[in-house]
Structure 1
Amino acid sequence: MIGLLKRAIAHYAKTTGRGTSLYKKFCKPDGYEWAQHMGRWGGLHSVGKGAWINLGCNITDPAMLRLGDNVGLSDCTIFGHDGIVHVINARDGTKLDSVGGVDIRANSFVGHGAIVMPRVTIGPDSVVAAGAVVLRDVPPGMVVGGNPARVICTMETLVKNIKERCAEYPWMSLIENRDGLFDPELEPKLQAMRAEYFFGEEQHNG
């Protein structure tokens, strides 16, 4: 019964754009589904192919956000405006505006807790590390972190480091033969092998 209700809510939200909050709360769509929904009904300027958006991502001004292909947004915050302008207008009697588009180009990722301010272009092929505060453009192919965000290394260096770590993991054959990004039947074995590798008695004594 619950499954039928969830499917009905999902269908209604996807086809009409209504009931989005119910769809998000009860159906918990994955990042790819949520990006498609936001692209069609959430007011985003545009969403590229294969993009994904975590449900915890906060996008304050959807119309000011453009996502390229294969862009990933973790539980980050994307601003399209500067709230301080309202204080300035009230203080000085002015009628100023302070908005700006955020353009996240293909194959880029924004990590958990990161904040991206207006008038910023990220990438392509770039990474914003968890907790970073991005105030200016991120050059193509770079990894940035910190507050304010600064270049840490190149994407090539990041990939090289990840490959070197993977070469030592005893579960990589399972990953290489896995069908897709997640296999619920394989996950318990992967978790057990990872826990043993990082926290097991042999690893601890070694």
Structure 2
Amino acid sequence: MIGLLKRAIAHFARNTGRGTSLYKRLCKPDGFEWAHFLVRWRSLHSIGENVWINVGCNITDPSLVRLGNNVGLSDCTLIGHDASVALLNVRYGTKLDSVGPIDILDNVFIGHGAIILPRVKIGPNALVAAGAVVLRDVPPDVVVGGNPARVICTLETLLKNVEERCAEYPWIDLIRERNGEFDPVLESKLRVMRAEYFFGEKSNG
């Protein structure tokens, strides 16, 4: 009965654009499903192939956001306007507007809590670290982080560092054999192995 209700809610939301909160809370759409929903009902300017958007991602001005191929957005915020213009208009008697596009090119990942401000282009082949505040363009093939965001290293350096760490993990063969990024069958075994490796004891979870 619950499964039938969830399917009905998902169908209603995907076909009408309404009931969004219920859809997110009960149906828990994955990032790919949510991306397709946003394209259809939240007027993103355009979106490429294989785009993943977490349901916690906040996009304030969807029509000013363009996403390339293989883009992943975690619980980050994309802001297409600068509300401080309201203060300028009041203080100086002006009638100004302050908006701008956010252009995220191919093969980009934006981490949890990152904030992307207007008039920014990111990538291609770039990673924005968790918590970063991006005020200006991010060059290709780099990792940026901090507030304001700055280049931390190249993507090649990141790859080398992660590969070196992975070589030490006793579970890396399971990861290499895993089908996709997440396998619920392996997850409990991986959780135990990781806890024992990092803490020397089994997890209570």
C-alpha displacement of 1:18: 2.3
**Aligned-residue identity in percent:** 71
Q: Which runs of 5+ in 1 are unaligned?
A: 202-206
Aligned to 2:184, what secondary structure does the other structure show?
coil
| Whole-Å separation in 2 of the counterparts to 1:128 and 1:27 | 28
Aligned to 1:143, what secondary structure does the other structure show?
strand
| Whole-Å separation in 1 of the counterparts to 2:133 and 2:179 | 36
The answer for the alignment partner of 1:35 in structure 2 is 35
| Whole-Å separation in 2 of the counterparts to 1:148 and 1:106 | 23
| Whole-Å separation in 1 of the counterparts to 2:159 and 2:32 | 23
| Whole-Å separation in 1 of the counterparts to 2:146 and 2:177 | 36
CA RMSD of superposed structures (Å) = 1.0
Cα deviations across residues 123-177 of structure 1 (Å, max 9, x unaligned)? Answer: 0000111111100000001111111111000011111111111111111111111
The AA in structure 2 aligned to 1:44 is: L
Question: Once structures 1 and 2 are overlaid, which stretch shifts more, 15-24 or 124-133?
Answer: 15-24
| Whole-Å separation in 2 of the counterparts to 1:16 and 1:56 | 21
The answer for the alignment partner of 2:75 in structure 1 is 75
TM-score after normalising by structure 2: 0.95
TM-score after normalising by structure 1: 0.94
Structure 1 segments of 4+ aligned residues over 6 angstroms from their partners: none
Q: Which runs of 5+ in 2 are unaligned?
A: none
The AA in structure 2 aligned to 1:122 is: I
Cα deviations across residues 97-139 of structure 1 (Å, max 9, x unaligned)? Answer: 0000000111111111111100000000001111111000000
The answer for the alignment partner of 2:90 in structure 1 is 90
1:167 equivalent in alignment to 2:167: yes
1:153 equivalent in alignment to 2:153: yes
C-alpha displacement of 1:21: 2.3
| Whole-Å separation in 1 of the counterparts to 2:144 and 2:178 | 31
Question: Once structures 1 and 2 are overlaid, which stretch shifts more, 175-184 or 12-21?
Answer: 12-21
